[in-house]
Amino acid sequence: MAANPESDPYAPLRHAMVETQLRARGIRDERVLAAMERVPRHLFAPSYNYDAAYEDHPVLIAQNQTISQPFMVAAMVQAAEIKPADVVLEVGTGSGYQAAVLAELAAEVFTIERFAALAESAQRNLAHLNYANVVVTIGDGSEGLPQYAPYDAIVVAAAAPRIPQALVEQLREDGRLVIPVGNSEEQQLHLVQKRDGMPFVQPLFGCKFVPLIGRYGFHPAT
């Protein structure tokens, strides 16, 4: 699916990223580690910044947004416990990187981005790497994406002031929602599991994401 690691000059940097930033820090899910070893993260970064793609921090992309830090992507995807038959929603497509990681693990990935320009370049990145099981859409993901619901897992890559009810509604029974919740300065990553129709909420650890802007997120500055 993704580029052949053997012909990829960035494969050694990516391997080091997986070992030192992910495995050494407690990411244990071998499927997640293997997916992040496969996806050529640099191809989702601006071309002047390829090397930075494998460093231990977020990478700036267009519209003042970022590709999340590798550890954060791994922690979110691991918490979402993606299985091969799962249908997954990602809110906040950004570069398309995390959508590619999800596409390595799930049957089908729907991703939604509020900036059309980002959605279009993510779509190009994903098509170039032959990810045929990702659908990129443009819109307000704080409302979820009801037309393809229910989802086995929902991963939100932007911080919300509270857990949007619409996202809980679009989860399948036993589904997992991973979402940073807090104010614009700091948040806690939360895992929400739907059991008997009710959300079971567990805070995981502190984090800092760009804001989720939308109806059930933060409101844009006026």
Span interacting with ligand SAH, options 23-31, 61-69, 129-137, 190-198, rule CB under 6 A: 61-69
Q: Which is nearer to ligand SAH, 7 or 64 (CB)?
A: 64
Q: Which of 118, 129, 167, 192 touches ligand SAH (CB under 6 A)?
A: 118
212 near ligand SAH (CB under 6 A): yes
What's the rounded Cα separation, in Å, for the pair 131 and 100? 7
| Most distant CA pair in the chain, distance | 49
Nearest to 213 by CA among 171, 161, 136, 163: 161
What's the rounded Cα separation, in Å, for the pair 44 and 66? 11
Q: Which is nearer to ligand SAH, 74 or 158 (CB)?
A: 158
Sign of CA dihedral 136, 43, 75, 71: negative
What's the rounded Cα separation, in Å, for the pair 160 and 217? 5
Which DSSP helix (H) or strand (E) runs through 36?
Answer: helix 30-38
Q: Which is nearer to ligand SAH, 86 or 113 (CB)?
A: 113
Q: Which is nearer to ligand SAH, 6 or 212 (CB)?
A: 212
Nearest to 204 by CA among 155, 171, 133, 164: 155
18 near ligand SAH (CB under 6 A): no
- Letters for 69-98 (x = contact with ligand SAH by CB under 6 A, - = none) are ----------------------xx-xx-xx
Q: Which residues form the catalytic set?
A: 68
123 near ligand SAH (CB under 6 A): no
54 near ligand SAH (CB under 6 A): no
